[in-house]
Chain A
Amino acid sequence: MDVNRIQSSPVVKKATKNKIRVDFEGRTSAWERFKIKVFSVSFLKDVVWYLFRLILLIGISYVIIYPFISKVASSFMSREDFVDATVLLIAKHPTLDTYKAIIVDNEYFRAMLNTFILSASTAIVQTFITCLIGYGFAKFKFKGNKILFMFVVLTMIVPHPTVRLSMFMKFRYFDIFGIFNFLGGGVFESIDILKFTDISLINTYWPFYILSATGLAFKNGLYIFMLRQFFRGVPDELEESAYIDGSGPFRTFVQIILPLSIPMLITVFMFAFSWQWTDNYYTRVFFTSQGPYTLRAFIKIPRSLDTEYPGQNMYVAAIRNTCGILIMLPLILIYAFLQRYLVESIERAGIVG
């Protein structure tokens, strides 16, 4: 009997050009199906679990976002609001004075331009160089590959203060194996232009470029590691077919591998850019107070707001936070545009230890 029911031809309810809606004779009614689906323990469990997940994620998102909200809220407060105990998030006397004072007195745009030039140029160099190095480590089996990679890991592990003094000394008295000193002191001493002794690269961008071009800058070990893992996942057949077609390794790299890894490159660029943007380690080592005016020097109390009054500590903190907001703003804009590449590249990278 059942067999007969299934075999009987379905009733066509609606037929358009692309779709046909059919109804089988004697099919359980929609309400019945709905009831079976909904009034079951497993469905209930699923719903509860789903809601639990959602609430948890929303809660933790709140933990992440709330500091930003409070910072933004306090940046609009005027002095009176900080001594008023009833004011928590919404200012009673909203004002833009804090922003005005910071942007004008602290020369926000100058600091931002300087930092932008530094970050963008080093990020581009770092992305390209670490990509090159990561590809070399991933796809070529040469002698010393493993040992050399251990050195990459070493550059990641060594804490910054360990090399801080010698890093400063290296670029304060820049020299390569004493060659410059030898040339300057001995051979070319009489010629003014070629006097190579006592080259100080402090307060210039050169230390950043030199470190970036050699894959030693901030967190570059991590980028090399990430890119190595990524390139390991790229099938060898791609390159082999390119080699068979007569293309050299570098041409293969530029024409086949690079276009394929654009999401990953964007991710690395984003990391490099934003970590250089908020960097306070290398800028502190290489820039003294006479150095280029970057965002690190920009965090200070504007002259026009610097007065003593009760509750000043809160106000000072709010001003510093406002500086922080102004520093973050460009990063958040960049992140908003590029974050989908971040997730995409991570999904495709498949980092396996």
Chain B
Amino acid sequence: MNIEAKKKKIKIDSAPKKRRRIASLDRRKARVGWLFVLPFVIGLVIIYLPIIYNSIMFSFNEINTLQGGGYELVPVGFKNYSEALFVDPSYVTELTSGIRELIFDIPAIIIFALFIAILLNQNIVGRTGFRAIFFIPVIIATGLISDIDAQNILASYMGDTGASIDTGTGRNTVAEIVRVMDVEMLFANMRVGSDLVAYVVNAVNNIFNIVNRSGVQMLIFLAGLQSISPAIYESCKIDGATGWETFWKITFPMISPMILVNAIYTIIDALTRSDNNVMTYIDQVYDTGADGNVISSAMAWMYFLIVTLLIVVVSGIISAYVFYQRRDE
């Protein structure tokens, strides 16, 4: 009897102790988590946030380099912004045309990437080979190479599809295909709006551009398709669903979170890539100043605000339709 009571007492004693130990383990784990992300925290505090702060400051100031090293800032208020908007001849037009182009590109890239991902996900001869080819642009068509391509006047002569259709002097393969297929006639008979026709024709003309820019999106979609359980497809097949129905009822809802991710990624990628017209223009402005032109900072910040706004709007629209599979965790 006595011993049992003692045992009970011990149990009661040890219970809170145990709880405390678990809590401290959690806290220790949390501390370790900070250690893991420490490099980023250091970089953020020492380098990134000061850079962002400086950049915002620059956009409200004029900059003078001092003789002995260092620089001084002369505050000018919103002068840089108003100059960028009202004095600069082409900033506003570049900006609006750039944004319009982007809004047209996003659906084309996403639809194309999804389509190719589905094709690459099915069984076909040489699937790994095709995958390897489709991901080449991700690795190679960036930075310097895309710079070279942008200035490549030889392309139109050699019949590259990379050249835009307007500058091509005849031998443009895609232009030929479009002409032969007579896409506009095809669509005119279908009685859809002429805007849509122009859009599709434009997308076909830009196919090289779209292929080049949809590599990462394809990877993300492929990963998403891989994560859909084959059992779902099997049960659909047994129930007699056609491929078309399966796509809209199964694949599309299951892949919709990836569409959101890809839409955001496409916007970010398109707006921050270096061959973007607005970016090139801002860079040009930057290069005209002796030690960096502060107006370029103001332009870039306005640009950033528009990017953020666009991302918020697009993700808001898409996330209203996204279907999340409930996972038991």
Contact = CB atoms under 8 A, between A and B. Distances in A.
Contact of A279 (B143, B155, B307): B143
A133 B33 CA distance: 9
Contact of A324 (B148, B222, B258, B299): B148
Interface in B47-64: 47-48, 50-52, 54-55, 58
Which residue, B39, B71, B282, has most C-beta atoms of chain A within 10 A? B39
A298 to B, nearest CB: 9
B124 A50 contact: yes
A169 B134 CA distance: 39
B3 to A, nearest CB: 32
B268 interface: yes
Contacts of B140: 274, 278, 328, 331-332, 335
Interface stretch (A8-16, A29-37, A186-194, A344-352): A344-352
Contacts of B36: 132-133, 135-137, 140, 249, 253
Contacts of B274: 160, 280-281
Interface in A122-162: 129, 132-133, 135-137, 139-143, 145, 148, 151-152, 155-162
A241 interface: no
Nearest to B136: A64
B181 interface: no
Contacts of B40: 133, 148, 151-152, 214-216, 224
B145 A278 contact: yes
B152 A321 contact: yes
Which residue, B116, B145, B162, B227, has most C-beta atoms of chain A within 10 A? B145
A162 B54 CA distance: 10
B160 A70 contact: yes
Contact of B155 (A70, A313, A331): A70
A158 B54 contact: no
B1 to A, nearest CB: 37
A6 interface: no
Contacts of A262: none
Contacts of B52: 158, 163, 166
Contacts of A165: 55, 58, 286, 292-294, 296-297
Contacts of B282: 161
Given A133-B39, A173-B70, A347-B223, A299 B33 contact: no
B215 to A, nearest CB: 10
Contact of A129 (B39, B47, B222): B39
B161 A66 contact: yes
Contact of B122 (A53, A129, A343): A53
Contact of A168 (B138, B151, B292): B292
Size range of the interface on A? 35 or more
B137 interface: yes
Size range of the interface on B? 35 or more
Given A67-B161, A275-B143, A320-B152, A340 B128 contact: yes
A60 B301 contact: no
Contact of B133 (A65, A67, A279): A65
B148 A270 contact: no
A218 to B, nearest CB: 9
Nearest to B27: A142
A170 to B, nearest CB: 6
A253 B144 CA distance: 36
Nearest to B225: A347
A118 to B, nearest CB: 13
Nearest to A70: B158
Contacts, number: 292
B130 interface: yes
Contacts of A274: 139-140, 142
A38 B203 CA distance: 38
Nearest to B212: A64
Contact of A198 (B37, B69, B219): B69
B15 interface: no
Nearest to B69: A198
B224 interface: yes
A183 interface: no
A317 B154 contact: yes
A44 interface: no
Contact of B145 (A132, A210, A324): A324
A79 interface: no
Interface string B31-47: 11111110111111011
B31 A142 contact: yes
B187 interface: no
Contact of A136 (B33, B149, B158, B303): B33
A323 B39 contact: no
Contact of A53 (B119, B171, B286): B119
26 contacts: A53-B122, A54-B124, A60-B207, A64-B134, A66-B173, A67-B149, A70-B155, A70-B159, A89-B158, A133-B39, A136-B34, A137-B36, A137-B37, A161-B303, A162-B301, A166-B52, A170-B54, A216-B44, A274-B139, A278-B144, A299-B144, A320-B151, A340-B128, A342-B219, A347-B222, A353-B257
Given A64-B137, A166-B55, 9 more contacts: A54-B124, A61-B134, A70-B158, A271-B139, A317-B154, A339-B131, A346-B223, A349-B223, A350-B227
Nearest 5 Cβ contacts at the A-B interface: A214-B43, A140-B33, A136-B36, A198-B69, A278-B143
Interface of A: 50, 53-54, 56-57, 60-61, 63-67, 70, 73-74, 88-89, 129, 132-133, 135-137, 139-143, 145, 148, 151-152, 155-170, 173, 176-177, 197-198, 210-211, 213-216, 224, 249-250, 253, 270-271, 274-275, 278-281, 295-296, 299, 313-314, 317-318, 320-321, 323-324, 327-328, 331-332, 335, 339-340, 342-343, 346-347, 349-353
